[in-house]
Each structure stands twice: as structure tokens, then as C-alpha cells.
Amino acid sequence: MTSDVTLTASSPMAGNTQAYAGRFDGGFHTLTVAYEGTTQATAPFMKVAGAVIENLKTAGTVEQKGTKEPNPQSHASGLVGSADGVTINNCEVAVAISYSVVGKNRHSGGFVGHGGGSVIKMNNCKFSGSFSAPNGNKTSGIAGLVGWAAGQGSSFTNCYVAGKYTNIQDVHPLVYTTDPITVTSSNNFYYFNGIGASTTDNKGDATAVTAEQAKSGSVTYALQHGSGAQYWSQSLPDESEPMLVFSGEKKVNKVKFVYNDVVMFTRYANAGGRITGGVPTMKDFLGSDYNDSYYYESFSFNPAFDGNSVVSQDMKVTGILNYAKFFTVNSKATWDQFCKLVNGGNSKLAAKMTADVNEAVSTMAGTSKRPYQGSFDGQGHTLTLSISTETDGTGPFAFADGATIKDLRTTGSIWTSRRYCGSIVGEVNNSLTTVSNCQSDVNIHSGYHGDATHGGIVGLANGPVSIENCAFTGNIIGDWTTNCAGILGWAGTSGNIIKNCLYTGTMNIDVTMWGQNSEPIARNSDHVTISNTYYLNAPHETSNGVKVTEEQLKNGEVASKLQGNQNESVWAFRLGEGTMLDLFSHPKNNGSEANVNYVYYSAGSWHCDYYRLTDGAAYQVSYVDFRADKITHLRSLTAGRPYTWCQPYAVTYSDDMPFKAYMLSRTTGGNAVFSQVSNGSPLYALMPYLIVMKDSRERIDYDQSAIVKSFDTSLGYVQQGDIKMMGTVKTISNDEASQLGAFTLQDDGSWRKVIKDKDNTAYIPPFRAYLTVSGLTSGAKIGSVFSDGTTTGVENIILKNNDGTTHIYDLNGIDRGTDFNSLPTGIYIRGGKKVVKR
């Protein structure tokens, strides 16, 4: 053909009298037909035998009017009716084939109606026509390429079937046959465009595609690469399916998008054009692995690629994703970035602090429209605040909905002229928000006149909130502000929980204006389950929590109650300072000055990395027993001098220690006799001892761990005859000591009775010992005798052996034996009197 040709209904069909056996080259032109047939094999080529037809497109209509049941075979086709061998190359059939009556087993195909037992070969062919029949949906025996084939050796390569089927009961993608023939099929595709189409017999195993796939260019690309020459084209995105090359070449290139060495997506573009279907996004790549709590820092392509990139050839584009399971906060800048991400829509972003943020932050996470919904782990670090607002809902987390915030400490200040401020969360809405293991000493400055509803931890709970193991030690300040609470400003809904919490702050607000409606723990507490929660200060008498004293905070009693039966280390106390959350010991650092007297719960008991007993300091007796890994006693001690000793810990005595330790062992002549503690023996906790220093020092360090005992009323004592030696753990005033008849150790080693004086100058410090003696009058003096030969305060010492001999002492208190004649010249004490040896 040298041009397009249009036929009429009266035009003849080629091969209607003699089968066509030649080579027909359509020259890429279109033959338009309008056949109406009442006999079998209605088609442009009615019969062929060994013919070759190529480079031709047929269009128009073929209507089959005859062939009723019971012999319905029509063999109608858009190209060849009946074939006794045929080769068809580079042809398209766009003919609408219809039947005037319903019939089964029509044996009709888009290209060949009936192929008998011959060999049929087709390459680079497309069926874009249609089959239709009257209502009834019983017309069958239809195939996209060949209506019937019974011969061995037929082949179909690089073909595309995209016909439309109306009232057709059964469609076969390539070939219809019931014979066990072998068909060679390669790179063939089909798209069924019609209701009721099925593939009960997909002879040749053609690949089904969707309209979207056809439009994307992927089918065209496959067809192009399945043929040796450029027979297929598609103008993207205008053309919706592969086109045979009849009017120009539109080559399709493929772009493979790869992630982790796996092809995740393919897109297609004409040579020199841009891809269709859009560039895959990060979420597209991750699919179900996308987690909206992760921090996705960046996503890029290598080579760089976007929707405007020009594709000149096939290419591979690799997706590069930088992400972490959480966002890291370690500075003011990273906190600001975290807030920006959350407020920008990434509301479920998980975050962890890896360092204290000491530079004050002013930005807040969460807005009323985009509340924070993620998990924030402070990991024991401190976030310093300097926030100023003129809107409701203020806090480092201004608004929260279903969030989890834990292990965070906040410090600094907040200034607000509006309502609902909290040092952790301003407002909670909708789903349960959990705040745990958080401590704050923030000062909240309120400029609001009236009911401000500020809370130490959370301002307003319009959704349920669980506040557990939290402490607020800061202040709420505002001359005209009322209606605040130490933990939760207002419980606006039921289901709230406050458990194991502590409030030790103050409210410098107007607690009388508009009634006394401020609370130490929570307002509207009928909506809150409060358990094991304590407060130091309250704006008025209340049952909102349990009131405690400063001493209970400092000695660890409150920490012990708050820790309760929790297995994890949650609460701690700095002995002598106060109760706190165990947020400051991550990681533990044995012997560190920062951990001095820091007592925490671990593995079922209380521990202290470094216990330091400072002479004269108050509140150094714990409410609980704890194990100290390192012990230091700070006390100014002079060589050769005796001291009383009553320690709250038990250690093993060693001759290597810088002192000799003695215990009251007996009395003689109204004097106290002390026996040295032997090497390897215990020095018991809370028991009174007398020590003599071997050298002068300001501290004693023990290289052994020990249990530091809690104080109770059963202090240890030693009773020998009329003399009783008692220890102390608290200061005994002059008045108390004089009433007890206490004797205290003097610098010369003697014991003198405490006399009551109005200035209270004579008192007994903590961790000392004193004597009480029956039968002695005021001003009496007791001497100390050491069984190892050391004596002090010896003027009143009389010590006799069982044989009646008397010990002799020099003026330094040294026992010189019983043989006076063998002693060198000097002054000695014998029988309680001074004697001179000349």
C-alpha cells in the first residue's frame, strides 16, 4: 500500500475464491473496512495460505450476521478469516467486530479467525479493536489474536492485546484452542477492557497489565526491548497505551529507583522528556516501614533527580535516606529544631536528650492544632527554660495529645500573662498523655488576674493524664493569680492519675481571693486518683496528698515511701539535703564528688557510691539502711589524742588504720578501762568506741564498703559496773547532757561531768560518746586506762592485778608495770598518788 484505503460494505474480501499466498506490505498505512458477512471467515483477508502480511493497520467494522446455533462458528476477524499458515509482522487491528445473534464457540480472533492445524507466527502486533454481541453474555470462543489454532509450532512474540469486549462470556488473551498444542510465546501482554472477560485458558501465558501500567510507559518499554528494531512507541503522558510505529518514533526510556540495592519503583519517559507518574517520595520508598515517630533527616537521589530531570537514556537512580529512630536534643539549637519539626506537622516525632541544655530555650513543642503526640525521653538531662507567652497553654510542651514524656528535668523560668501553664506540659487534650520521672524547679511567673489554672507539672488536663514519679520544687508567683496547684492545675476530665509524686515548692500567689481554691497536688481532685503523693507546703489545710516535714525529706524517709515497691531506681535523696528523683546518676560514678551522700535504690536495696560523714554536720543519719561503696570521715584529729567515736556504719578494724580503737571493758577504782579492738574484728555501727590517733589528719578514708545504718532508739552502749558508755548520732544539748549526768572526754583523756550553763557551751556533738556513772558527784573526774599500756587522765587511776600488785604509770599515762625499783628516776603515779623515784 502506498496510501490509506477505505472500503465499503460491497468491497470484496481478499482470498474469497482463492486463498491469498503472497506477501502484503501495508507500508504503515491504514485499511478501513465495513464488511457485513453472512458466511464464515468475514475479514479483509478471507482466506490465506502461507501468506506474509506486515506493516498494516486495519480499522472500521466487521459485522457477522449469520451462523446461528447449533453451528455458530463464524471465524470473523479484523485481518484474516481462515488461515492455512500465515506470518503477520508489525500490524495493528483496530476493527470493531460484532455479532447480530448470540452464539457459543465463535472461533473468532482479533487477527485470525480460524487457523486450523497450520502454523501461525505473529511479531509486534497489537489488537486495539473490539468484540460485541447482543445482550445475553453467552457469546464465547473469542481470542485476542487467533480464534482457533490446532497446529503445533505457532509462535507469538512482542504482541499487545487491548481490545474491548461487550457481552462476551469468555475471552482468551492470545489463542483459543482445546487441543494439546505447544505455543511459543515471548513478551506478550494483554489488558481486558470489558465486563465479563475471563482468562480460563491463557494459552501462551501472556502477561496481564492494568490501564495504569499501559499508560505509564512500562509496557511500551518492554515491547521496545523485546523487538530487534523500533516498532513500538508512546508519547508520554498523552498516549495511554503502546503504539505501533506508524507515524513517528517515540522511544520510551526506563528510570529505575533503587533503595538498599533493590529496585523499588520504575518510571518511564520519552527520550529527552520527563518521567510520568511522579518522583517516588521517601514514604513511597519506605512503605509500611515508614514510622512517623522516627527522625528522617534527609532523603536524596544519586544522581540528583527530580520531576524536571530530563531522561535521555535508561538510568538507575539510588535513593539515599538518613534517618534515626529518634531525634537527638543536646543543645538549644537542636531543641528549637525539634519544636519546628513537631509544630510543622511531625507531631509524633520521638526524641531523646543526650546532654543538658544549659542555654535557656524559649520555643515550645506542640500547638493547639498540632499537639505533641510522640515519645520524649530526657534520659535524666536538664532543659533550661526562659519562655514568655501571651497565649493559653504554656510549657516546654505547650500542647500534648497521647504523648509520653519521661526522665526529664526542667529548670529556669516561665513568664505568662495567660492561663494553663505547666513546667512540663501546658495543656493535655484527647488521648492519655503520660508524664513520668520528671522533676522541675522552674519558677512560673503569672501575670493573669484570677483563675490562672497553672500547675507545677501540668496546667490543664482536658484529656486524661497520668503523672507518676514526678516532683515540683519550683514556685508559682503572681500577686493577682489564683486557683493553681503544685502538680496538676485542673483535671477537666476523668481518668487522671497522680502517683508517687512530690510537691515541695511554694505558691506566692493570692490564695484568698475568690476562695481558697489552690491545692498542693491537684484541683478538681474528684477526677484524679491520687496515691502515695506528698507535699511540704500547702496554701491551706487540705487532704490533697500527705504532708511531710523537711527532716523527713532530708533523711530519706519520703524517698523511701515514694520508691515503695518499685523495682527500678526512681527516687533518691541527698542525705542531709532532700528528696529528689534519681535523674542525676546516669551513669553512676563511684567516688565522684557529685555523688557524695547520694542514696539511690538498686537491686532491691539502697546504695550510695560515696558516703561522706562530716563532723558537726546535721541530718547525716538516714531513715533507711544503705550500702556505701566508699566512705570518708571528715574530722580534725591530732596524733596521740583520744577521741570518742560512734559511727553509723560497720567496718572491719585493721592495724593499718590510722588509729587504735578501744572499747570499754571494765572499771577499776572509779576509772574506765578500755581494751584495744583486735585486728580483723568489727567496729560495729552505732556503738561507742574510744580511739587514739597514730598521726594527725583531717580525714579518714576507708577502703571497704559498709552498711550505713539508719537511726533508731536502740543505740548501742557498753555497761561495765557503774560506768555506762553511750553513743550519739544527734547533738545533745547542754541541758540534756546535764540532766543525763553525762561525762565527756577531755583533751587530757579524762572524763568530766557536764555542768549546766546558761550559754549552752558544753554540749555533746553528734557521732560522739559519753559516760554516765552511778554515785559520783558534780565535778567528779574519771580516768581512762588502756589495757595495752596506754593511759590518760591517770591521776585517779588505780588498777590492781589479781595478786594485789599495783600498776605504775608515768605522767604520759604509760603503764610502766608493777616493779617500782626497776624504773628510772622520775615522777610516777602509783595507787592514785604521785611518787618520785630518785
Mean pLDDT within 431-453: 97
CB atoms within 10 A of CB 34: 15
Strands 425-428 and 723-727: unpaired
Contact 764, 737 (CB under 8 A): yes
Band (811; pLDDT cuts 50, 70, 90): low
Q: How many CB atoms lie within 10 A of CB 803?
A: 6
> Rounded to an integer, what distance in angstroms lies between the CA atom of residue 88 and that of residue 771?
124
Q: What is the 3-state secondary structure (H, E, C) of 475-505?
A: EEEECCEECCECCEEEECCCCEEEECCEECC
Q: Can you give the pLDDT at residue 121?
A: 95
Tell which wins on pLDDT, 143 or 781: 143
Contacts of 727 (CB under 8 A, 6+ apart): 646, 686, 687, 688, 715, 716, 717, 767, 768, 769
Cα–chain-centroid distance for residue 328? 11
Sheet holding 171-172, edge to edge: 108-109, 142-143, 171-172
> How many separate helices (H) and strands (E) can be counted in the chain?
7, 75
The three-class DSSP label of residue 712 is coil
Mean pLDDT over 451-464 rounds to 97
Distance CA 710, CA 686 (A): 9
The three-class DSSP label of residue 552 is helix
Domain boundaries, the chain: 5-208, 225-323, 354-547, 553-623, 632-796, 808-837
pLDDT at 205: 77
The C-alpha atoms of residue 335 and residue 356 are separated, in whole angstroms, by 11
- How far is it, in rounded angstroms, from Cα 80 to Cα 87? 11
* Contact in structure between 268 and 241 (CB atoms under 8 Å): no
Rounded mean pLDDT, 794-812: 50
Entry field: residues in the chain: 838
**Residue 406: predicted pLDDT:** 98
- Which ranges constitute the DSSP H helices of 176-296? 211-216, 218-226, 282-286
SS3 state at 821: helix
- Which letter does DSSP use for residue 517 in this model? -
3-state secondary structure 205-238: CCEECCHHHHHHCHHHHHHHHHCCCCCEECCCCC
Residue-wise DSSP of 117-170: TS-EEEES-EE--EEE--TTS-B--EESSBS----TT-EEES-EE--EEESBS-
**pLDDT exceeds cutoff 60 at 836:** yes
706-708 and 626-628 as β-strands: parallel, antiparallel, unpaired?
antiparallel
pLDDT(193) > 80: no
Say how far apart CA 392 and CA 414 lie, in whole Å: 13
Task: Name the residue with higher pLDDT: 793 or 502.
Answer: 502
- In this structure, what C-alpha cell is assigned to residue 626? 544503705
One-letter amino acid at 563 equals Q
Question: Each residue of 519-540: pLDDT tens digit?
Answer: 999 999 999 999 999 999 887 7
Q: Which three cell numbers stand for residue 92?
A: 495493528
| Biggest CA pair distance of the chain | 168
From CA 580, how far away is CA 437, in angstroms rounded?
Answer: 10
Residue type, 717: Y
Tell me the C-alpha distance between 716 and 347, whole Å. 61
**pLDDT tens digits, one per residue of 29-78:** 999 999 998 888 999 999 999 999 999 999 999 998 865 554 566 889 99
* Closest to 571 (Cα-Cα) out of 619, 538, 534: 534
Q: Is residue 76 within 8 Å of residue 45, measured between CB atoms?
A: no
Res 337 pLDDT > 90: yes
CB within 8 A of 741, min separation 6: which ones? Answer: 753, 754, 772, 773
Instruction: State yes or no: pLDDT of 135 exceeds 80.
Output: no
The half-sphere exposure of 181 on its side-chain side, counting CA atoms within 13 A, is 26
Identity of the amino acid at 481: T
Cα gap 163→361, rounded to integer Å:
67
91-100, 135-144, 163-172 — which is least confidently predicted?
135-144
Q: What is the pLDDT of residue 743?
A: 93
First-residue to last-residue Cα distance in the chain: 157
Q: Which residues pair with 502 in a beta bridge?
A: 471, 534
Strand 781-782: give its sheet, edge to edge. Answer: 717-720, 723-727, 769-773, 742-745, 751-753, 781-782
> In which element (H, E) is residue 735 found?
helix 734-740
388 or 223, which is more confident: 388
Could you tell me whether strands 605-608 and 578-581 are parallel, antiparallel, or unpaired per DSSP bridges?
Answer: unpaired
Between CA 831 and CA 838, with CA 835 as vertex, the angle to 5 degrees is 145
Using only C-alpha atoms, what is the Rg of the chain? Answer: 50
pLDDT tens-digit readout, 5-24: 999 988 999 998 899 999 99
Residue 589: per-residue pLDDT = 52
CA distance 689 to 253: 95
Q: Please check whether residue 150 is in contact with residue 178, taking contact to mean a CB–CB distance below 8 angstroms.
A: no
Average pLDDT, the chain: 88
- β-strand pairing of 605-608 with 598-602: antiparallel
* Cβ count within 10 A of residue 361: 24
Q: How far apart are CA 481 and CA 490, in angstroms?
A: 15
The pLDDT of residue 200 is: 53
Q: Is the pLDDT of residue 136 over 80?
A: no
Beta strands in 716-822 (DSSP E): 717-720, 723-727, 742-745, 751-753, 769-773, 781-782, 784-786, 791-792, 808-810
- Bridging pattern class, strands 571-574 and 598-602: antiparallel
pLDDT of residue 583: 77
| pTM of the predicted protein model | 0.72
DSSP string for residues in 593-651: GGGBTEEEEETTEEEESBEEEETT-SS-S-SS-EEESSEEEEEEE-TT-EEEE--SB-E
The CATH class given to the 225-323 domain equals: alpha beta
Is residue 797 pLDDT above 50, yes or no?
no
Whether the CB-CB separation of 343 and 371 falls below 8 Å is answered with no
pLDDT at 818: 76
pLDDT tens by residue, 538-596: 877 788 899 999 999 999 999 999 999 999 999 999 998 888 888 765 445 555 677 89
Q: Does domain 354-547 have CATH number 2.160.20.110?
A: yes
pLDDT tens per residue, range 366-375: 999 999 999 9
Closest CA to 754 of 765, 768, 766, 770: 770
The predicted pLDDT at position 788 comes to 66
Distance CA 206, CA 199 (A): 10
Q: Are 734 and 741 in contact (CB under 8 A)?
A: no
Rounded to an integer, the average pLDDT of 584-609 is: 76
pLDDT band at 783 (very low <50, low <70, confident <90, very high): confident
Q: Dihedrals φ, ψ of 478, to 5°?
A: 175, 115
